[in-house]
Structure 1
């Protein structure tokens, strides 16, 4: 295929019967045509057509082909002639495949007009009705689905030929034009996106899906069971029987072959969830037992990696030399108070994770990722992606903190006595939070007294470890257990002091303490405490990271899970939460 001029390109579009969504070769040959010409106008029109060919519309919205940071390609802004050329092409083009796209681009552009949507709908319908491809071709079935979803959403948005669109799809249910999976996916899409609930339509879908459940196999059976659950809910019918069958399907996958480890855990967990929704207590109990047994065979080994690029290694070594030299200088020249303040305000914590910054890969659409907690339970709040926050804590933050403590202990500036003195004199922990009640009895907390046991045990152990060049995990159990639980108490005390809500009232009139996570999300807290510190506290104490509060309170930690490193992170958190003054309390 080679274009000698734009007319040959237009002829190619009119004769094109390819049902796929994108044709990258077309873009390539348009570029060759534009680059080979000295005519400015031809170059410009070739560029417009390249943008047009690369323009992808899925589920009624433009999806950029490439995106890196703020850069996207293609975008509507690239059609910088007020869309005059696209309007012209929308009128002239006959092939419904391209006529629908020209008009759909105009519909989602600033030139948006009802006429363009109508033209796109009619062209989509014409194109789909006259399409012909092998029903077992998955790629072309996927193309059909994309075209139909665009048609359906357009027809719903302007209420034009919406009934005809649905009627057309219903005729496909009794034929073999598209695959059963494609039928399932479109029924699910219609059910989730139809503007006005249609009980008659949903009953038709329900009846069809029930028939398929009796004859379908494996993944297709799973898909139709999930569809039946959705349809039952929309029709206000109990989906319990389908939840149970879906649970049975997950169990059946284990019986087909000897699945162990991650796979067994995956299927048992999904089955358990379905049985719970179906309220089948016997199967819930049976599956729970099997799930616990399967956990023992999950191998969660760490996979190390090493950097072999000499330039990267050199830069890292330079960075660590500069950092360690700076820390040694601070520890040598500054007082204990200055060192603790350095740990309180120095910007060595990572920035909070955000969904926009989380790395994503199209390859991960092809696999299932699972994130396990310390108890080998799947954490459904985590994506299974690499966590940049955790990488930063482990490879940078902790290394800097360790260097400060190591040098500080060597110089005898970081000691149990100096730390307690700093907490007592320069943090709000030293304030008197006690009071005498009506019975002349002392109430409230002396936080320094409560913190002393943990810190004293820690310093005794770390000093012993440094002298013997060892790391006795067992020696840090008491220190970590105590400080983790005290930190929640300190956070609640802090919340009360700034008049942030710490108790909420349930619908039945009972009181309930606000969770640790909600305490940190309170506006009064976030207005005072920097976002980096909030993210650090969440990483340490909630399911967003180490989940220390839950793991300690429920005895999930084994001896090997305890370490001096964890205690160092806790002390930094303690210093950062204490970096405030309550004038009424500290008025001396």
Structure 2
């Protein structure tokens, strides 16, 4: 029977008589089949045969109502198990053409009636189906979103004490309660979610690479980096080092290519990614990020350049400030006089100086003591992250790129960091690799420094010299353009 269906699908003519013959055969097969509803394999086979019947009847518009009616007549019987009934209803709803509302109402009434007695493993499926059916019937799905939230909370009882998956279930429940509009449960669940995060211990796991060829390549790469860095620092002056960090191809935009024809075993696994605030994102693409790996490799080189440069005296607070004052657009005076005589605008060199000075003070202490004091980088990172957004807005204004938008009610709103980087005028000037690097540093595409700093999500241990090094490289790269303040500049 399955072969007949496939032949019809592959046939160039798709002769309607053969299709009708197949439909009649499916009707006969399903009518005369007899098996226990406890036999999951045969129930599944029944469902697949019905799907074939349904698709064929829909395709040639032959006995499609009878096909649906045959299944409806089985809903109140015990011929099929609950999951098979759900699967067929879900298939009809998703693939049916011009299905009458009476059928949707029948599915809705049946599903709503039995959900109180369903086993846990199929309850979630029926509730999701009821949400879809409510929408088909132009009814509010709030009741079922709330029940889905309750279902997620109930699953916590099946977990081990203080398990990290508590946060997963609380997050899912919170989303359902939001859709349901239940304010009291939203507040209650949000509190429980925050409490559960405190118990999550995300430990780092180190894996030793056993592949000798890989280790040889890695060692060779490191030797080349050390040699290249030594030549740069020993032969070059401060200007050469800063220009290298500004223009060298340290970060290449990550391009992900997905082959839809091949499915990895990882596609069958649900991956949950925890951010610095222990929020959960169900996103398989974040489980392995090749761009992040590239950043880690480049960071080793940048760190080596700074350590050698500071030891040689060629990299210092004074030399960096001299470079910014002579080689970047930050040196320009962006202040202006208002009609009332008041001076507005910003002197960026003055604002950048405290952050960079704090960094070099702590960096020199760390190098001398062979230690790393995270607390010493808090002020430097907090200041430079927030100043970078200001620099990007200043840069955009100088290019004549849009930095504010007018809402329908007439109020002004600043354009988001992401949108600033997506502006055509900005992209025409800043290389694509640097755009990707900025987004990785400051937005949810990567480290999300702007959000984490602005909302105080970072604890002391999240601060490091490495983050500051990346920020300084970003600062150098954004400053490497010939722009000047616009005349008659006005504030936002």
Given the alignment of the two structures, is residue 219 of structure 1 paired with residue 121 of structure 2, yes or no? yes
Residue in 2 aligned with 1:170?
Answer: 72
Summarize the Cα distance change of 1:326–1:513 in structure 2 as closer, same or farther, 3 Å threshold.
Answer: same
Summarize the Cα distance change of 1:123–1:421 in structure 2 as closer, same or farther, 3 Å threshold.
Answer: farther
- What aligned pairs does 1:230-379 form with structure 2 within 5 A after superposition? 230-256=132-158, 258-354=160-256, 356=258, 362-379=264-281
Residue in 2 aligned with 1:123?
Answer: 22
Summarize the Cα distance change of 1:228–1:582 in structure 2 as closer, same or farther, 3 Å threshold.
Answer: same
**Are the equivalent residues in 1 in contact too, given 2:274–2:280 (CA < 8 A)?**
yes
Residue in 2 aligned with 1:570?
Answer: 471
**Structure 1 CA distance for aligned equivalents of residues 476 and 314 of structure 2:** 16
**Are the equivalent residues in 2 in contact too, given 1:432–1:585 (CA < 8 A)?**
no
Given the alignment of the two structures, is residue 543 of structure 1 paired with residue 444 of structure 2, yes or no? yes
Select the residue among 292, 296, 301 that pairs with 1:390. Answer: 292
- Consecutive aligned runs of 4 or more in structure 1 exceeding 6 Å deviation: 357-360
Select the residue among 471, 480, 494 that pairs with 2:381. Answer: 480
Summarize the Cα distance change of 1:357–1:572 in structure 2 as closer, same or farther, 3 Å threshold.
Answer: farther
**Structure 2 CA distance for aligned equivalents of residues 278 and 536 of structure 1:** 39
**Structure 1 CA distance for aligned equivalents of residues 52 and 328 of structure 2:** 60
Summarize the Cα distance change of 1:402–1:512 in structure 2 as closer, same or farther, 3 Å threshold.
Answer: same
Given the alignment of the two structures, is residue 444 of structure 1 paired with residue 345 of structure 2, yes or no? yes
Structure 1 residue runs without a partner (length 5+) = 1-95
Residue in 1 aligned with 2:461?
Answer: 560
How far off its partner does 1:384 sit?
5.1
What SS does the corresponding residue of 1:286 show, helix, strand or coil?
Answer: helix
Residue in 1 aligned with 2:424?
Answer: 523
**Structure 1 CA distance for aligned equivalents of residues 429 and 16 of structure 2:** 51
**Are the equivalent residues in 2 in contact too, given 1:371–1:383 (CA < 8 A)?**
no
How far off its partner does 1:163 sit?
3.3
Select the residue among 326, 345, 366 that pairs with 1:425. Answer: 326
What SS does the corresponding residue of 1:512 show, helix, strand or coil?
Answer: strand
Summarize the Cα distance change of 1:258–1:329 in structure 2 as closer, same or farther, 3 Å threshold.
Answer: closer
Residue in 1 aligned with 2:10?
Answer: 105
Summarize the Cα distance change of 1:364–1:208 in structure 2 as closer, same or farther, 3 Å threshold.
Answer: farther
**Structure 2 CA distance for aligned equivalents of residues 116 and 322 of structure 1:** 68
Cα deviations by residue, 1:517-564 (Å, 9 ceiling, x for unpaired): 222222333333222222211211112221111111111111111111
What SS does the corresponding residue of 1:371 show, helix, strand or coil?
Answer: strand
Summarize the Cα distance change of 1:554–1:155 in structure 2 as closer, same or farther, 3 Å threshold.
Answer: same
Select the residue among 447, 453, 459 that pairs with 2:354. Answer: 453
**Are the equivalent residues in 1 in contact too, given 2:398–2:484 (CA < 8 A)?**
no
How far off its partner does 1:292 sit?
2.0
Residue in 1 aligned with 2:335?
Answer: 434
Residue in 2 aligned with 1:470?
Answer: 371
How far off its partner does 1:161 sit?
4.8
How far off its partner does 1:200 sit?
1.5
How far off its partner does 1:130 sit?
1.6
How far off its partner does 1:366 sit?
4.5
Cα deviations by residue, 1:95-151 (Å, 9 ceiling, x for unpaired): x31122133234xxxx5x5x3688567536734752656644545655655565565
Summarize the Cα distance change of 1:324–1:201 in structure 2 as closer, same or farther, 3 Å threshold.
Answer: same
Summarize the Cα distance change of 1:577–1:140 in structure 2 as closer, same or farther, 3 Å threshold.
Answer: farther
How far off its partner does 1:456 sit?
1.1
Residue in 1 aligned with 2:91?
Answer: 189
**Structure 2 CA distance for aligned equivalents of residues 489 and 144 of structure 1:** 63
The RMSD of aligned alpha carbons is: 2.9
**Structure 1 CA distance for aligned equivalents of residues 231 and 48 of structure 2:** 63
**Are the equivalent residues in 2 in contact too, given 1:398–1:565 (CA < 8 A)?**
yes
**Are the equivalent residues in 1 in contact too, given 2:272–2:283 (CA < 8 A)?**
no
How far off its partner does 1:261 sit?
2.4
How far off its partner does 1:441 sit?
1.9
Summarize the Cα distance change of 1:565–1:296 in structure 2 as closer, same or farther, 3 Å threshold.
Answer: same
- What aligned pairs does 1:491-506 form with structure 2 within 5 A after superposition? 491-506=392-407
**Structure 1 CA distance for aligned equivalents of residues 272 and 357 of structure 2:** 39
Residue in 2 aligned with 1:70?
Answer: none
**Structure 2 CA distance for aligned equivalents of residues 351 and 476 of structure 1:** 28
How far off its partner does 1:443 sit?
1.4
**Are the equivalent residues in 1 in contact too, given 2:333–2:485 (CA < 8 A)?**
no
Q: Which has the higher contact order (CA 8 A, sep 6+)?
A: 2
**Are the equivalent residues in 1 in contact too, given 2:328–2:481 (CA < 8 A)?**
yes
Summarize the Cα distance change of 1:551–1:357 in structure 2 as closer, same or farther, 3 Å threshold.
Answer: farther
